[in-house]
Amino acid sequence: NAGVTQTPKFQVLKTGQSMTLQCAQDMNHEYMSWYRQDPGMGLRLIHYSVGAGITDQGEVPNGYNVSRSTTEDFPLRLLSAAPSQTSVYFCASSPDPDRAGTGELFFGEGSRLTVL
Amino acid sequence: SQQGEEDPQALSIQEGENATMNCSYKTSINNLQWYRQNSGRGLVHLILIRSNEREKHSGRLRVTLDTSKKSSSLLITASRAADTASYFCAPYTGGFKTIFGAGTRLFVKA
């Protein structure tokens, strides 16, 4: 039972470089989301998706792009990394709330990103 | 969507003691969820309490919900060193944005 899988677990980038954080889930969940967590703080929602082809912004979307071409995958792209994007990124998924989902989120183990 | 606010920010207790942490929120909810995060790991769902429930148990966890006060509490009985973690509440109002607060950091001393 893989659940939510994030890759890579660790990444170091230089300012201005681009990269993609991968997220895949095998639970057939319609809803997927990305959070970032900075030291000593809670999680802030970056982007989310309610199904293939549908994405929307969360609390802190600037500097990040997402797409959802399949139910399983929800990659997060940093087009031009900045030191302020140094953080731990978490992907989460959930069954569709509109189908009597409870909103329970299933999290990946995180991707730790450092931007120099 | 709305954010839950956990209190206290940090809690340090001895093994075997009970740990209580609180959550307040602002608007009506469908349910309220508690999550645990071990250091450096993803959040794990602990327990969900629906808006029409007042108390729920799961093992050593007891959650209460007071919708009139818009508050919830999580009680961990007979704490163990392995309970050391951050705990987050998530008031769920439907929709697609679950917003987390800063959490309560629990440290259980062996």
Q: A26, A72 in Cβ contact below 8 A? A: yes
Residue A26 pLDDT > 90: yes
B99 three-class SS:
strand
Q: Which helix (H) or strand (E) holds A107?
A: strand A106-107
Distance of CA A90 to the CA centre of its chain: 5
Residue B85 pLDDT > 90: yes
pLDDT tens digit sequence for A39-97 = 877 899 999 999 999 999 999 999 999 999 999 999 999 999 999 999 999 999 998 66
Contact A97 B103 (CB under 8 A): no
Beta bridge partners, A19, equal A78
A21 three-class SS:
strand
The mean pLDDT of A6-11, rounded to a whole number, is 97
pLDDT tens digit sequence for A27-40 = 999 999 999 999 87
Nearest CB among A56, A88, A103 relative to B31 is that of A103
Flag whether residue A46 sits within 8 Å of chain B, measured between CB atoms.
Answer: no
Give the span between the Cα atoms of B22 and B29, in whole angstroms: 16
Q: Which helix (H) or strand (E) holds B100?
A: none
| Interior/surface letters B40-68, b for 16+ CB within 10 angstroms, e for the rest | ebbbebbbbbeeeeeebeeeebbbbbeee
pLDDT tens digit sequence for B8-49 = 999 999 999 999 999 999 989 889 999 999 998 999 999 999
Contact B100 A109 (CB under 8 A): no
Question: Would you tell me which residues 70-89 of chain B have a C-beta closer than 8 angstroms to some C-beta of chain A?
Answer: 88
